Amino acid sequence: MKFFIDTANLDQIKEANDLGILAGVTTNPSLVAKEGVDFHSRLKEITSLVDGSVSAEVVALDAEGMIEEGLELSKIAPNITVKVPMTLEGLKAVKAFSDKGIKTNVTLVFSGVQALLAARAGATYVSPFLGRLDDIGQDGLHLIDEISDIFTVHGIPTEIIAASIRHPIHVSEAARRGAHIATLPSKVIGQLVKHPLTDKGIEQFLADWNNRS
Ligand code: E4P
């Protein structure tokens, strides 16, 4: 499983990139709004920092509008992936982008069948939202099993991005259950690195080293 970061914040992207683990970035309208910056200029900055896929979401609700926005976004850099919501209009847009060789990430996926439809329309990636399912008392991770099984049985090449990740168990389980990518909030990257026994071990090694005779 590869790692993307789920943010539009440049410092967080640079920090994750320096760790050598970053294969891409996902953004969404809420994350971009939080930064208070121009969307296209921020995408330009992100794509110049990161070689992998950078997902940029359309906000139009009709296919024509989505296609118009997505075409503009895809001109920003060759590594832009157009992020499209999982709707009937979204599927039409995905088909149009796929015909033009433009990569797509179908977002707000909450069922296996939605993922299958997105894949059949030509999606490069599907983004099942784990945390938001957990929030309403459903099992977000079960959705990874479901999509992974469907894609395996039918030999579908669309990649699964485990999204709406809230904690390290989401990440380890998504990897175990067949997600190709996990898109991580910066906070979760920090949590994944940390282990109390690692910290305790370093402390002990240093203490022993400083007390050497
Ligand atoms: C995915 O691409 C989305 O940007 C993101 O993971 C949504 O997560 P949230 O439910 O924490 O907003």
Residue 45: give its domain's CATH number: 3.20.20.70
Q: Report the nearest-CA residue for atom 5 of ligand 1.
A: 164
Domain range for 70: 2-210
Chain-centroid distance, C-alpha 122: 18
Indicate which residues carry an active-site annotation: 83
Question: Which tens digits make up the pLDDT trace of 23-47?
Answer: 999 999 999 999 999 999 999 999 9
Return the number of other C-beta atoms located less than 10 Å from residue 40's C-beta. Answer: 13
Task: Tell me, using a 6 A CB cutoff, whether residue 57 lines ligand 1.
Answer: no
CA 210 – ligand 1 centroid, Å: 45
pTM confidence score: 0.96
CA 120 – ligand 1 centroid, Å: 23
- pLDDT at res. 77: 98
**Could you give the number of structural domains in the chain?**
1
Residue 114 — very low, low, confident or very high, per pLDDT cuts 50/70/90?
A: very high
Residue 94 — very low, low, confident or very high, per pLDDT cuts 50/70/90?
A: very high
- pLDDT at res. 5: 98
Spatial separation of the C-alpha atoms in residues 184 and 182, rounded to whole Å: 6
ipTM above 0.85, yes or no: yes
**Mean pLDDT score, 2-9:** 98
CA 6 – ligand 1 centroid, Å: 7
**Mean pLDDT score, 150-158:** 98
Strands 125-128 and 159-162: parallel
94-122 in b/e burial notation, b at 16+ Cβ within 10 A? bbbbeeeebbbbbbbbbebebbbbbbebb
Q: Which atom of ligand 1 is nearest to the CA of 27?
A: 4
Task: Tell me, using a 6 A CB cutoff, whether residue 26 lines ligand 1.
Answer: yes
Distances (CA, A) of 62 to 65, 87, 183: 5, 9, 26
